[in-house]
Amino acid sequence: MSYRVQVITVSDKGSRGERVDTSGPAIKKMLEKDFIVGDVIIVPDEADIIADAMKRAIDEEGMDMVVTTGGTGLSARDVTPEATRSVIERDLPGFAEVMRLESYRITPRAIISRAVCGIRGKSIIINLPGSEKAAVECLGFVIGAIPHALAKLKGDAADCGA
């Protein structure tokens, strides 16, 4: 089955055209090997706008997964985790835990990530860091589990071994 994915870059400067988004396109390229990926959407660091973009992608456009990049740090404008929590119905903590653990092996700063992963309906939402390097690394740590997770979420009754 081909799963559909929406990539959302969260960046004030990117949304105003003041910075070129490199993380969104890098994530899209990485995902296109196994998924059908829409155009990257860039939104400002506003919780309501981020949440609306996620809900629209899943509820209206039928995306199987939304991957965000940016807004997971400690600055006052980093509100992607809060926006994500407002739209998910269930947590998917293993993804964020693995991303932080594996990233910590690269840099001790990884522990300040506030990334959240969860489920809305039968779709998965994954928050990634804003830097291209960190976003690609983090997605790489979990990408192998995504097709199986989506299959189980969509009702695949096969034994998952988890």
With a cut of 90, say whether residue 159 has pLDDT above it.
no
Residue 134: what are its φ and ψ, rounded to 5°?
A: -65, -40
- Amino acid making up residue 30: M
Q: What is the mean pLDDT of the chain?
A: 95
In a domain, 64, yes or no: yes
**pLDDT tens, residue by residue, 22-62:** 999 999 999 999 999 999 999 999 999 999 999 999 999 99
| 76, 97, 118, 146, 147 from 82: Cα distances, Å | 12, 17, 12, 22, 26
User: CA-CA distance, 49 to 10, in Å (whole number)?
Assistant: 10
Looking up residue 68, the CATH number of its domain turns out to be 3.40.980.10
Rounded distance between C-alpha atoms, residue 88 and residue 124, angstroms:
9
DSSP letters, 61-124, are T--SEEEEES--SSSTT--HHHHHHHH-SEE-HHHHHHHHHHHHTT-GGGGG----EEEETTEE
Whether 138 and 112 have beta carbons less than 8 Å apart is answered as: no
Residue pLDDT, tens place only, 60-113:
999 999 999 999 999 999 999 999 999 999 999 999 999 999 999 999 999 999
Residue 16 lies in a domain: yes
Asked whether residue 124 is assigned to any structural domain, the reply reads yes
**Cβ neighbours of residue 150 under 8 Å, at least 6 residues apart?**
3, 64, 65, 124
Q: Record the pTM.
A: 0.94
Q: Is the pLDDT of residue 12 over 70?
A: yes
In a domain, 47, yes or no: yes
54: domain range? 4-153
Assess if residue 161 is contained within a domain: no
Q: Which residue has the higher pLDDT, 119 or 161?
A: 119
Residue 59 lies in a domain: yes
Indicate whether 138 belongs to any domain. yes
Q: Band the pLDDT of 162: cuts 50, 70, 90.
A: very low
Flag whether 159 is in a domain. no
d(CA 24, CA 59): 21
At which residue do the structure tokens 């959407």 appear? 41
What is the tally of structural domains in the chain? Answer: 1
Q: What is the mean pLDDT of residues 6-18?
A: 96
